Structure 1
Amino acid sequence: MKWGYVFIAAIFEVCWVMGLKYASTLGEWSATIVCIIISFTLLLKATNVLPVGSLYAVFTGLGTAGTVILGMILGEPVHVGKLLLIMMLLCGVLGLKLTTGDTKGETES
C-alpha cells in the first residue's frame, strides 16, 4: 500500500492540474483545492516510508503522463512523438519503482 499512496496522489495531481486549466465556478475551484490537499497529504504520508527521491520522481512522472494523456482525451493534439515520450517516461517511472527499496534511506551495499 506504500506505493498505492503515491499512485492515488498522482491521480489527484492530474485532477487538480486539469482543474487549474478548466475550473470556472466556485464549486470547480473548491474541488480543485480539495484535490490539491488530498494529493499532497497522500504524498506526505508516503514520504514516511519510502525514499523521497524515488517517490517524488515516480509521483511527478505519473502525474505528468496522466495529465498529458487526459489532455489528449479532452481534445489536445495527439502526436506519435508525444506518445513515445510518455511511454519512455512511464518506463523510467516503473524502473525507479522496481529498483527502489521499501524503507526510507535504504542503501545497497
Structure 2
Amino acid sequence: MFSWMLLLLASGLEVLWAAGLKRSDSVLEWLATIACIIGSFSLLVLVTKRMGASTAYVFFVIFGTVGTYLLDVALFGKPVSPLAVLAIAVILFSVVQLKQVKD
C-alpha cells in the first residue's frame, strides 16, 4: 500500500512539473519545476524497487497522463474532448487487462 501512495505522489509531482513547464516565468518557478522533476523521478525509482519497474512505470505514466489532462481542463481552460476521454478510457481498460494477465 505504501508503494502505491509513493507512486501517486510521484505522479502528482509529474503533473506539477508538466504544468510548470507551461507556466514558469521566474527563476523561482523554474526551480520549483526542477524540484518536482527530481522528486517525481526519485520517488519512481524508490517505487520500482518495491513493486517492479514495469508495473510502477505503467501506472506512473497513466496517472501522470490522466492528471495532466484533468489539470489542463480544470485550470487552463482546455475543452473536454470526447476523443481524449475515449483514449484515456481505452488506456485505463488496457492496463487493467494487462495487469490481469499472469506471467
TM-score by length of 1: 0.81
| CA distance in structure 1 between the partners assigned to 2:5 and 2:58 by the alignment | 15
How far 1:48 sits from its partner (Å)?
Answer: 1.1
User: Which aligned runs of 4 or more in structure 1 are off by greater than 2 angstroms?
Assistant: 87-93, 96-100
Q: Which amino acid aligns with 1:76?
A: K
Q: Which runs of 5+ in 2 are unaligned?
A: none
Residue in structure 2 matching 1:83, options 82, 85, 88 = 85
The C-alpha deviation readout for 1:31-53, integer Å capped at 9, x for no partner, is 10111111111111111111101
Q: Which runs of 5+ in 1 are unaligned?
A: 101-106
What is the number of residues matched between the two proteins? Answer: 101
* Structure with higher helix content: 2
Q: Which moves more between the two structures, 83-92 or 4-13? A: 83-92
| CA distance in structure 2 between the partners assigned to 1:96 and 1:54 by the alignment | 13
TM-score by length of 2: 0.85
How far 1:88 sits from its partner (Å)?
Answer: 2.5
- When the two chains are superposed, the root-mean-square deviation of aligned CA atoms in Å is 2.1
| CA distance in structure 1 between the partners assigned to 2:44 and 2:97 by the alignment | 16
How far 1:92 sits from its partner (Å)?
Answer: 3.6
Aligned-partner SS, 1:49: helix
How far 1:90 sits from its partner (Å)?
Answer: 3.0
Q: Which amino acid aligns with 2:90?
A: M
The C-alpha deviation readout for 1:41-90, integer Å capped at 9, x for no partner, is 11111111111011101101110111111111211232112112222323
Identity percentage of aligned residues: 35
Aligned-partner SS, 1:77: coil
Matched with 2:35 is 34
How far 1:97 sits from its partner (Å)?
Answer: 8.8
